[in-house]
């Protein structure tokens, strides 16, 4: 009736990851009206919940009607419980119960990549694509699936955990306990690992130079910087990671048939140095590329705001407002 008008109000979105907590007050139209960021006391879940509530209170006002939380890990959508976080010690945390109890507002909790997918679908690179896959490539790989204009969550809310498919049996150990997960060969982990190896093998390389001669100081962003400056070794590393990324996306496109694949996360700072090899590997690996519409693989548009914006708007829409 009055959707998008004053009745729709505003919501607070909270994006909680391993290093920081971002809280934003967001309008129904996706506009960010206030924001607060706090470090995550990741080793202490009670303190993390406290910091989430504190960050939310900083941006709250009387017009806020709901709270949406995106959390890194497996989130039971029905109860708003985080059951497991692959790279963190968080287990069986009742996020919705805690936040709703503290703030006295309707609250929903979902996986961080799911809410980011919703943000990109409603206001970012996935606008208008009712079937969309978001792949977030940061330290690990997360995924969010929009299918028929709705988030696809599976039976428990655990769908879209695309980073933990084993693609290299016996490969590098993953934070989830398995070996050779996709996120070990196609994310920031892989860039960092290959960058350190390259710096060790060739102390005169640009990567080693930028790291001040200490291979252990090589990070994904550092490899990206070397690649941007034209370094061949860094470009090869990014291209290889892009190739593994594109191959994985091909498998997901075979399963999900999205209109568009949106790629977000920190590794996307490397831009076309990763995306271009990803697109060509995708074309080689996807089933019958000449007999299907082209599936664009495009960079995300909302950056680090996608999660909090998506969580807030999802919470508002959950009210039916």
Contacting residue, 12, 117, 141, 176, with Zn ion by CB under 5 A: 176
**Residue number, 122 or 164, with CB nearest to Zn ion:** 164
Written as six digits, the tokens of 33 are 């009206």
Work out how close the CB of 179 gets to Zn ion at its nearest, in angstroms, rounded to a whole number.
8
Work out how close the CB of 188 gets to Zn ion at its nearest, in angstroms, rounded to a whole number.
14
**Is 174 a binder of Zn ion (CB under 5 A)?**
yes
Residues 189-199 as b/e (b if ≥16 CB within 10 A, e otherwise) read bbbbbbbbebb
**Is 141 a binder of Zn ion (CB under 5 A)?**
no
**Is 181 a binder of Zn ion (CB under 5 A)?**
yes
Q: What residues from 77 to 136 belong to the interface with Zn ion (CB under 5 A)?
A: none
> Would you say 211 and 217 are in contact if contact means Cβ atoms under 8 Å apart?
yes
Q: How many CB atoms lie within 10 A of CB 58?
A: 15
Binding span for Zn ion by CB under 5 A among 5-13, 18-26, 167-175, 270-278: 167-175
**Is 279 a binder of Zn ion (CB under 5 A)?**
no
Q: Residue 274 has what DSSP assignment?
A: H
**Residue number, 174 or 268, with CB nearest to Zn ion:** 174
- Which of helix, strand or coil describes residue 82? strand
Work out how close the CB of 175 gets to Zn ion at its nearest, in angstroms, rounded to a whole number.
6
Work out how close the CB of 18 gets to Zn ion at its nearest, in angstroms, rounded to a whole number.
15
Q: CA nearest 132: which of 275, 303, 300?
A: 300
> Would you say 82 and 109 are in contact if contact means Cβ atoms under 8 Å apart?
yes
**Is 164 a binder of Zn ion (CB under 5 A)?**
yes
Look at strands 81-84 and 20-27 and give their pairing. Answer: unpaired
Summarize as ranges the residues that interact with Zn ion (CB under 5 A): 164, 174, 176, 178, 181
């Amino acid at each position: 009736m009055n959707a998008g008008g004053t009745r729709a109000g505003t919501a607070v979105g909270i994006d909680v990851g391993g290093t920081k907590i971002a809280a934003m007050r967001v309008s129904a139209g996706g506009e960010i009206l206030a924001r607060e960021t706090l470090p995550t006391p990741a080793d202490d879940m009670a303190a993390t919940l406290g910091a989430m509530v504190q960050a939310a209170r900083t941006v709250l006002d009387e017009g806020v009607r709901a709270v949406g939380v995106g959390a890194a890990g497996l989130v039971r959508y029905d109860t708003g419980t985080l059951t497991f976080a692959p790279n963190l010690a968080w287990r069986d945390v009742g996020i919705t119960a805690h936040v709703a109890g503290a703030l006295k507002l309707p609250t929903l909790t979902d996986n961080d990549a799911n809410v980011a997918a919703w943000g990109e679908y409603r206001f970012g690179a996935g606008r208008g694509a009712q079937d969309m896959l978001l792949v977030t490539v940061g330290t690990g790989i997360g995924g969010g699936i929009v299918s028929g204009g709705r988030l696809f969550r599976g039976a428990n809310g655990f769908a879209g955990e695309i980073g933990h498919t084993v693609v290299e049996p016996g490969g590098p150990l993953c934070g989830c306990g398995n070996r050779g997960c996709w996120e070990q060969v196609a994310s920031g982990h892989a860039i960092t690992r290959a960058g350190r190896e390259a710096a060790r093998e060739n102390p005169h390389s640009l990567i080693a130079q930028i790291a001040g001669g200490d291979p252990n100081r090589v990070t994904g962003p550092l490899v990206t910087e070397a690649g941007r400056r034209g370094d061949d070794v860094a470009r090869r590393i990014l291209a290889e990671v892009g190739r593994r990324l594109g191959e994985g996306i091909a498998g997901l496109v075979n399963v999900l048939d999205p209109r568009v694949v949106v790629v977000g996360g920190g590794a996307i700072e490397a831009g076309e140095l990763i995306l271009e090899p990803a697109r060509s590997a995708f074309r080689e690996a996807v089933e019958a590329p000449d007999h299907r519409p082209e599936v664009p693989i495009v960079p995300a548009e909302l950056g680090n705001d996608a999660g909090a914006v998506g969580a807030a708007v999802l919470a508002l829409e959950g009210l039916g407002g």
